[in-house]
Amino acid sequence: MEYDIFISYSHDNNRAHDNWVHTFCERLTDDYFSRVGRKPKIFLDKGDLRAGDTLNGKITAALDQSLLFIPVLSPVYLSSEWCRKEFLYFMEKHKKRLVLDNSSRIVPLKFMPYEEYEPESAWASEVKTIMDFLEGKEILYKDFYRDLLPLQPDHADFRKEVARFSKDVHQLIGKLEVLASPPDDTTEGEIQPPATPAIFLGYAFGTEGAPARALREGLFREWEKQQKYGKFKHRILPDSAPNAADFPRNKSEAELREFIQQQLKQSDCAVLVFDDVEGAKTTDTGVPVAHLQYRLALEETRSRPDFRVLVAAQPTEDCATSQQDFIRETEKDAQANERVLLVGFEVKTIRDFLRDLIDTPKPVPPPPAGARLAFYIHDRRDRGDELHDKIDDVIFNQKYDVLRPVFREDDPLVDPDDYFKRFWLQSGRAIVLLRNGTTAWCNSVKIELLKLRTEKTVPGLMAICVTDPDAGQRLREVRSHEFMVIDCTKPGFQDLIVQFLKNTGHA
What CATH number is given to the structural domain containing 336? Answer: 3.40.50.11530
CA distances from 68 to 76, 133, 194, 367 (A): 22, 15, 20, 23
Residue type, 87: F
72's enclosing H/E stretch is strand 66-73
Handedness of CA 396, 459, 442, 433 (dihedral sign): negative
- Percent above pLDDT 70 for the chain: 68
Segments forming the whole domain that contains residue 458 = 373-502
Is the domain of 32 the same as that of 160?
yes
Residue 422 reports pLDDT greater than 90: no
pLDDT of residue 383: 60
Residues 346 and 379 in one domain: no
Please indicate, yes or no, whether residues 207 and 166 belong to a single structural domain of this protein: no
Say whether both 405 and 488 belong to one domain.
yes
Q: Is residue 16 part of a domain?
A: yes
| Averaged pLDDT for residues 474-484 | 54
478 pLDDT band (50/70/90 cuts)?
very low
Q: Are residues 377 and 263 in the same domain?
A: no
Q: What is the CA radius of gyration of the chain?
A: 26
Give the global pTM: 0.41
Exposure string (b/e) for 329-357, b if CB count within 10 Å is 16 or more? ebeebeeeeebbbbbebebeebbebbeee
pLDDT at 66: 92
Task: Assess whether 239 and 332 both reside in one domain.
Answer: yes
Answer yes or no: is 29 within a domain.
yes
Bridge partners of residue 461, in order along the sequence = 429
Domain boundary among 142, 176, 210: 176
Task: Please count the residues of the chain.
Answer: 507
Q: Is the pLDDT at 81 greater than 80, yes or no?
A: yes
Kindly report, residue by residue over 381-390, the tens digit of the pLDDT.
Answer: 666 677 877 8
pLDDT for 78 equals: 94
Contacts of 296 (CB under 8 A, 6+ apart): 257, 260, 261, 264
Task: Provide the CATH number for the domain around residue 128.
Answer: 3.40.50.10140
Number of domains in the chain: 3
Distances (CA, A) of 203 to 194, 240, 277, 290: 20, 13, 12, 7
Q: Which pLDDT does position 133 carry in this prediction?
A: 87
Sign (positive or negative) of CA dihedral 81, 87, 92, 94: positive
User: CA angle, corner 254, sides to 252 and 257, nearest 5?
Assistant: 105
Whether the CB-CB separation of 433 and 377 falls below 8 Å is answered with yes
Amino acid making up residue 82? W
**Do residue 381 and residue 332 come from a single domain?**
no
Give the DSSP H/E element, type plus range, for residue 421.
helix 416-427
Strand partners, 309: 270, 340
In a domain, residue 189? The reply is: no
- Shared domain for 341 and 207, answered yes or no, is yes
Single residue among 326, 358, 390 that ends a domain in this structure:
358
Mean pLDDT calculated for residue range 26-38: 89
Same domain for 317 and 450: no
Cβ atoms of 33 and 56 within 8 Å: the answer is: no
In a domain, 14, yes or no: yes
CA 282 to chain centre: 37
Whether residue 190 lies inside any domain: the answer is: no
The whole-angstrom separation of Cα 85 and Cα 166 is: 26
User: From CA 141, how far away is CA 484, in angstroms rounded?
Assistant: 32
Arithmetic mean of pLDDT, 148-165: 89
Q: What is the mean pLDDT of residues 298-307?
A: 85
pLDDT greater than 70 at residue 329: yes
* Residue partners of 337: CB distance under 8 A and separation at least 6: 298, 301
At residue 72 the predicted structure's pLDDT band, cuts being 50, 70 and 90, is: very high
For residue 323, pLDDT over 60 is answered with yes
pLDDT at 406: 46
- Give the model's pLDDT for residue 271: 93
Q: Which residue, 335, 358, 381, sits at the end of a domain?
A: 358
pLDDT for residue 7 is more than 70: yes
- Kind of pairing between the strands at 149-150 and 145-146: antiparallel
Does residue 507 form part of some domain? no
233-270 confidence digits (pLDDT tens): 787 888 766 556 556 667 788 888 888 888 888 888 99
**Which of the given ranges, 110-119, 352-361, 437-446, has the highest pLDDT on average?**
110-119
Report residue 164: phi and psi, to 5°: -65, -40
Q: Higher confidence at residue 425 or residue 198?
A: 198
Query: CB within 8 A of 234, min separation 6: which ones?
Result: 197, 198, 199, 223, 268, 358
Q: What is the pLDDT of residue 472?
A: 52
Does residue 363 form part of some domain?
no
**H or E stretch including 259?**
helix 253-265
28 pLDDT more than 90:
yes
> In whole angstroms, what separates CA 363 from the centre of its chain?
18
Question: Average pLDDT, stretch 188-192?
Answer: 39
346 and 230 together in one domain: yes
326 and 381 in a single domain? The answer is: no
Check whether residue 380 and residue 353 sit in a common domain.
no
> Do the domain assignments include residue 185?
no
